[in-house]
Amino acid sequence: MENALHVENLAKSYKRRVRKPGLAGAFQSMFSAKTEEFHAVKGISFSIKRGEKVGLIGENGAGKSTTLKMLTGIIVPTGGQLEVLGLVPWQKRRQLALNIGVVFGQRPQLLWDIPVRETFKLLKDMYHIPNGVFEITYPEAVKRLDLEPLLSTPVRLLSLGQRMRCDLAASLLHAPAVAFLDEPTIGLDLTVKEQVREYIRDMQNRFGITLLITTHDLKDITEVCDRLLLLDKGKLLFDGSLKAFEKRFANESRIVAELHQPATPASLKKLSAEIKRYGGAITLSEGHRLILEYREAGAAPALTQILLKRQKVVDLTLEKTDIDTIVTRIYRKPAGEKMKP
Amino acid sequence: MRPLQPPLTLLSSFQSYASYFVRCLKASFAYRAATITNLLTAAVSYSITIMIWRQVYSQNPNLLISSDQMYVYLLLAGCVNYAMIMNIEFRISQRIRNGLVATDLLKPVDFQIAQGIQAISDGFFNGSMGIMVFLCGFFVFGTRMLPPDFPCFCLFMISFLLGFTVMYGVCFVFVQGAFYTYSGYGIMASRNALQLTFSGVSAPLAFYPPLLKTIADWLPFKHIIYSPISIYMGWAKNADAYQLILQQACWAVFLFVLGKLIMKHALKQLEVQGG
Amino acid sequence: MRENIKLYLTAFNTALQAKFEYRVDFFVGVLTSCMLQLSSLFFLWVVFHQTPSINGWMPDQVILLFGMTAAALGLSELFFNHIWFVPSYIVQGDLDRLLTYPVNSLYFLLITRPELHAFGNLATGTLLTSYALIHLNAPWYAWVFFPLFAVSGCLVYTAALVIAASLSFKFVGPTSINLFVTNILLNATRYPLSIYPQVVQIVLLVLVPYGAFHYLPASLLLGKELNLWIILVTPLAALFFFWEAGWFWRWGLNQYESTGS
């Protein structure tokens, strides 16, 4: 089967009750029936092939988790069609469950009161993992994620980071065809994040697992994925490779300078004229702060030289147009502007 | 790439549930419920009920059921009631409210059956508590605590097990309310209220005023406590006993199907919190 | 002092608004409380089907007791329900936040989580009490005093819960002392205390004087036999009880802060 996932015009809406402020309003709203519709997902379409590594990003409330829940069959969509591994998730939930692995940020699937090792044993039976597979995935997980000291501890005594590592191992134990990872590195410290990313990459390499990762930490995407989906307020803004993303949304690069004393209007005029030749422009001059923006790649050294010559600079930062900054800037734009090519 | 796992056969499903059962047992050992205070609370409730009936008997010595039999009945009712405590009610409604139910739904097992297995494993523990109370009662009431003959006891065991299934069925149907309302207290407490009235735990149904008795006869609650114990005490013999058991079986099947249907609908309108 | 009261009112107001947000919870809760009260009434029905009176108490008279306990319970649940959450707060360490607020911890805690299904108990209680008072041809002053007694009963009930919660500061663990305490109080005091042995009566009238505020007034009203000394001792015991509860709470907090858990 070519497609791991196929989604067409997927939509999900909820009914929310209209509420008036104040105590009287609250009391009144209990007996009124006025509802408004809230559209969490507004008709998105995409396909993912077997073995692809896809990142799904968007601000909080953009509809990422809702989409993920529809894909795993927990929520029933209100519109559109979707298929995962040839099955309709909410109809064939149990059958699909055998072939997918899911990590939900802060909600582990581990059994609470008993040692971690017991959960793994149970999962082996529940997913009917063949010995050949289990004998690879289990030791791998234990080794790569440092699970050895945790195996005999009941889950409720583990810290958040420890729980998340166990949860991740549990979700990939059966080397599923598709893995849905919702915020897999949330709350982990930096070294552990690296460990986790490496583990995910290796498992993916070995077993050809199709990955769909939702995250706020963009490094998860740049280090693991090769394709990016950007959701904003329920709509799909972008679907393509990481490089294409950078190309499309990278506008200006910036040089941010901290001056020894606020620049005089005269000196600014002179500076402006000189950097124009290299396609640069002053976009901000407030007190000690000065920001230059430019479009051409490679103009940075020349512009920096001019700046240092013309002004007394105390500190200097070159802002890269990496995914982090791009996404931040996209989030900051008002809704209408975001759709511009 | 690993080949896709085909849908499970009946046998392999059974293996899944067996493994789940073992883990549930282990977890039940670890799950520290408030046993002591539960027991004390039950003891106090029992004492209060006894004192009320004692007053009644002191003024009206000649009732349908002798005072001796009454006290034994109430104690047995207490034991069975304790054995039937369904911890899963609280757990499921809590998991629905904090969203963890999503992880339950992602497992390749049937939710209703898996929770039933959990209930059975809890039942072992609650049941042993019930047996201990029974033994205490034996010290007090002696041989009056025993059933009239062995066949009676066998029928009682069947009825008790069926009663457990009916209890699970009732709880499962009620807990579906948590999918619609996210309330924890309301669901369990309303089931408890109905059960207090119609299961016969505070008084044998034979004592009920006719209207109340008719309603009780048409509800499943009496099959959780009153039916098994009437068989145990020899009040329901032979044909009556078989009829009760048949009714229990019918209710068990009906509630199982009803629970399944409601849950299907409940999932369609589910809004899982977070994200 | 005035500022504090204003603060409590605002906190209560806000909490109440938040609760109204969950309207299904509200309706389900009210329905459920009514069902629970009904189940006790049904039990009474069964008992009175077998006997004309319990220890000289006729059905309407027992209904009076029922109504008063329900009303007291309803009041406590509506205003002071938050105390139920203390054991879990202690276990999860959520009590720390409360201790950083510039308020008297106990009063602020009590009032900031009204439980809406209390309206069910309150309504049922009022209905039952009124029904009983009417059927018993109670004199006019009963209609003034009995609501007061309900309020007092509410305070005693809450005080008992505060003491139980304070104990959980020390005995952190899987014991639900509060459930145990309330169960006893609720179940036992619904029925005329005269059916219990002397020892129990003393406990319920003096040690935890919950019975003082419905059994005593009802007995007096209905002309039942009573020991004179009980009428004297019990109100004093109640006052002492409130003071005791506050003391327990402070003791509990000390335990909590000193172990730094």
Most confident among B58-72, B151-165, C242-256 (mean pLDDT): B151-165
Q: Are A19 and A29 in contact (CB under 8 A)?
A: yes
Query: Which is it for strands A313-319 and A253-259: parallel, antiparallel or unpaired?
Result: antiparallel
Q: Which residues of chain A are within 8 Å of residue C20 when distances are taken between CB atoms?
A: 23, 26-27, 29-30
Q: What is the mean pLDDT of residues A32-49?
A: 85
Q: What is the mean pLDDT of residues A62-84?
A: 88
Most confident among A115-129, A135-149, C156-170 (mean pLDDT): A135-149
Fill in the DSSP letter of residue A262.
P
Q: How far is CA A215 from CA A55, A105, A168, A224, A290, in A?
A: 8, 9, 14, 12, 33
Q: Which residues of chain B are within 8 Å of residue C29 when distances are taken between CB atoms?
A: 183, 185-186
Fill in the DSSP letter of residue C213.
G
Determine the distance in angstroms separating the CA of A339 from the nearest CA of chain B, rounded to an integer.
Answer: 23
pLDDT at residue B11 in the model: 84
CA nearest to C78, candidates C109, C46, C122: C122
CB contact under 8 A, B30 and A102: no
CB contact under 8 A, B34 and C179: yes
Q: Are C207 and C198 in contact (CB under 8 A)?
A: no
- Tally Cβ neighbours within 10 Å of residue A48: 22
Q: Which residue has the higher pLDDT, A106 or A170?
A: A170
- Tally Cβ neighbours within 10 Å of residue C77: 24
CB contact under 8 A, A128 and B5: yes
- B193 Cβ neighbours under 8 A, 6+ residues apart: C32, C35, C36, C38, C39
Q: pLDDT tens for residues A259-318?
A: 888 888 888 888 888 888 887 888 778 888 888 888 776 788 888 888 888 888 899 888
Determine the distance in angstroms separating the CA of A257 from the nearest CA of chain C, rounded to an integer.
Answer: 42
CB contact under 8 A, A75 and B23: no
How confident is residue A88, by pLDDT bands cut at 50, 70 and 90?
A: very high
Residue B23 domain flag: no
Distance of CA C249 to the CA centre of its chain: 17
Rg of the Cα atoms in chain B: 20
Distance CA A137, CA A88 (A): 28
Which strand (E) or helix (H) includes residue A144?
Answer: helix A131-144
Asked if A113 is an interface residue toward chain C (Cβ–Cβ < 8 A), one would say no
Residue B132 domain flag: yes
How would CATH label the architecture of A252-320? Answer: 2-Layer Sandwich (3.30)
DSSP code string of A276-310: HTTTEEEEEEETTEEEEEE-STT-HHHHHHHHHHH
- The tokens 């054991």 sit on which residue? C87
All partners of chain A with 3 or more CB pairs under 8 angstroms: B, C
Give the sign of the dihedral formed by CA C5, CA C9, CA C12, CA C18: negative
Alpha helices (H) in chain C, listed in sequence order:
2-20, 23-50, 59-80, 86-92, 95-99, 105-111, 118-135, 142-170, 177-190, 198-202, 215-222, 228-259
CB contact under 8 A, C187 and B48: yes
Q: pLDDT tens for residues A45-67?
A: 999 999 999 999 888 778 888 89
Which pLDDT tens digits describe chain C residue by residue (261 residues)?
A: 667 777 777 777 777 777 776 777 788 888 888 998 999 999 999 999 988 888 888 888 899 889 988 998 888 888 888 888 887 777 666 677 667 666 667 777 777 777 777 888 899 999 999 998 888 888 887 788 788 888 888 888 888 888 888 887 777 655 567 777 777 777 888 888 888 888 888 788 777 777 777 887 787 777 776 666 666 676 677 778 878 888 888 888 777 765 544
Asked if B43 is an interface residue toward chain C (Cβ–Cβ < 8 A), one would say no
Residue B9 domain flag: no
Q: Are A183 and A105 in contact (CB under 8 A)?
A: yes
In chain A, domain spans = 3-7+47-247, 252-320
CB contact under 8 A, A29 and C23: yes
Residue B4 domain flag: no
Question: Within chain B, what is the greatest distance between any pair of CA atoms?
Answer: 81
Determine the distance in angstroms separating the CA of A19 from the nearest CA of chain C, rounded to an integer.
Answer: 8
Q: How far is CA B69 from CA A31, B62, B110, B146, in A?
A: 51, 12, 43, 11
Q: Which residues of chain B are within 8 Å of residue A100 when distances are taken between CB atoms?
A: 106
Determine the distance in angstroms separating the CA of A27 from the nearest CA of chain C, rounded to an integer.
Answer: 6
Question: Which of A23, A28, A113 has the highest number of chain C CBs within 10 A, making it the mutation to test binding with C?
Answer: A23
Determine the distance in angstroms separating the CA of A174 from the nearest CA of chain B, rounded to an integer.
Answer: 9
CA angle, residues B101, B102, B108, in degrees to nearest 5: 100
Q: Are B76 and B153 in contact (CB under 8 A)?
A: no
Give the sign of the dihedral formed by CA B131, CA B133, CA B137, CA B138: positive
pLDDT at residue A341 in the model: 44
Q: Which residues of chain A are within 8 Å of residue B30 when distances are taken between CB atoms?
A: 113-114, 154
Q: Which residues of chain A are within 8 Å of residue C114 when distances are taken between CB atoms?
A: none
Q: Which residues of chain C are within 8 Å of residue A31 when distances are taken between CB atoms?
A: 23
Determine the distance in angstroms separating the CA of B12 from the nearest CA of chain A, rounded to an integer.
Answer: 8
CB contact under 8 A, C13 and A23: yes
CA angle, residues A309, A315, A320, in degrees to nearest 5: 95
Q: Are B133 and B82 in contact (CB under 8 A)?
A: yes
Distance CA C122, CA C132 (A): 15
Report residue C131 as tokens.
């029904």
Give this complex's ipTM.
Answer: 0.86
CB contact under 8 A, C28 and B59: no
Report residue A233 as tokens.
């307020």
Residue B139 domain flag: yes
Question: Which of C17, C27, C91, C117 has the highest number of chain A CBs within 10 A, making it the mutation to test binding with A?
Answer: C17
Beta bridge partners, A107, equal: A104
Q: Which residues of chain B are within 8 Å of residue A118 when distances are taken between CB atoms?
A: 23, 26
> What percentage of chain B has pLDDT greater than the value 70?
96
Lowest mean pLDDT among B32-36, B109-113, B125-129, C88-92: B32-36
Q: What angle do helix axes B10-30 and A116-126 make, rounded to 10 degrees?
A: 170
Query: Which member of A99, A100, A122 has the closest CB to residue B23?
Result: A122
Q: pLDDT tens for residues C120-129?
A: 889 999 999 9
Q: How far is CA A145 from CA A161, A199, C182, in A?
A: 11, 7, 48
- Tally Cβ neighbours within 10 Å of residue B220: 24
- Mapped onto helix, strand or coil, the DSSP state of residue A180 is strand
Distance CA A112, CA A121 (A): 14
Question: Within chain A, what is the greatest distance between any pair of CA atoms?
Answer: 77
Interface of B with C in 173-202 (CB under 8 A): 177, 180-183, 185-187, 189-190, 192-194, 196-197, 202
Q: How far is CA B89 from CA B92, B102, B129, in A?
A: 5, 17, 19
Q: Which residues of chain B are within 8 Å of residue A111 when distances are taken between CB atoms?
A: 23, 27
Asked if B23 is an interface residue toward chain A (Cβ–Cβ < 8 A), one would say yes
Q: Which residues of chain B are within 8 Å of residue C25 when distances are taken between CB atoms?
A: 181-183, 186
Most confident among A10-24, B17-31, B42-56 (mean pLDDT): B42-56
Adjacency order of strands within the sheet including A210-214: A100-104, A178-182, A210-214, A53-57, A227-232, A235-241
Fill in the DSSP letter of residue A154.
B
Looking at the structure of chain B, the number of domains it has is: 1
Rounded to 5 degrees, what are φ and ψ at C10? -60, -45
Report residue C108 as tokens.
């602020």
Asked if B126 is an interface residue toward chain C (Cβ–Cβ < 8 A), one would say no
Interface of B with C in 200-219 (CB under 8 A): 202-203, 207-209, 212
Length in residues, chain C = 261
Alpha helices (H) in chain B, listed in sequence order:
10-30, 35-59, 67-83, 87-97, 101-105, 111-141, 150-175, 177-181, 185-198, 210-218, 226-232, 238-268
Determine the distance in angstroms separating the CA of B268 from the nearest CA of chain A, rounded to an integer.
Answer: 5
- The tokens 């050992």 sit on which residue? B29
At position C188, the amino acid (one-letter code) is A
Query: Which member of C46, C180, C196 has the closest CB to residue B212?
Result: C46
- Tally Cβ neighbours within 10 Å of residue B203: 25
CB burial class (10 A; 0-12, 13-18, 19+) of residue A22?
Answer: exposed
Q: Which residue has the higher pLDDT, B40 or B149?
A: B149
- Chain A to chain C, count of Cβ pairs less than 8 Å apart? 18
The torsion angle over the Cα atoms of residues A187, A189, A194 and A196, rounded to 10 degrees, is -40
Determine the distance in angstroms separating the CA of A248 from the nearest CA of chain B, rounded to an integer.
Answer: 28
Query: Which member of A66, A90, A113 has the closest CB to residue B27?
Result: A113
CB burial class (10 A; 0-12, 13-18, 19+) of residue C198?
Answer: exposed
Q: How far is CA B132 from CA A224, B42, B79, B128, B136, in A?
A: 58, 13, 9, 6, 6
Interface of B with A in 87-116 (CB under 8 A): 98-100, 102-103, 105-110
CB contact under 8 A, C21 and A23: no
CB contact under 8 A, A126 and B99: no
Topology classification of domain A3-7+47-247: Rossmann fold (3.40.50)
Rg of the Cα atoms in chain C: 19
CB contact under 8 A, B45 and C183: yes
pTM of the full structure: 0.79
Query: Which member of A22, A23, A30 has the closest CB to residue C23?
Result: A30
What is the span of the domain harbouring residue B185?
34-268
Q: How far is CA A18 from CA A38, A61, B113, C23, in A?
A: 11, 19, 39, 12
Q: Are B174 and B191 in contact (CB under 8 A)?
A: yes
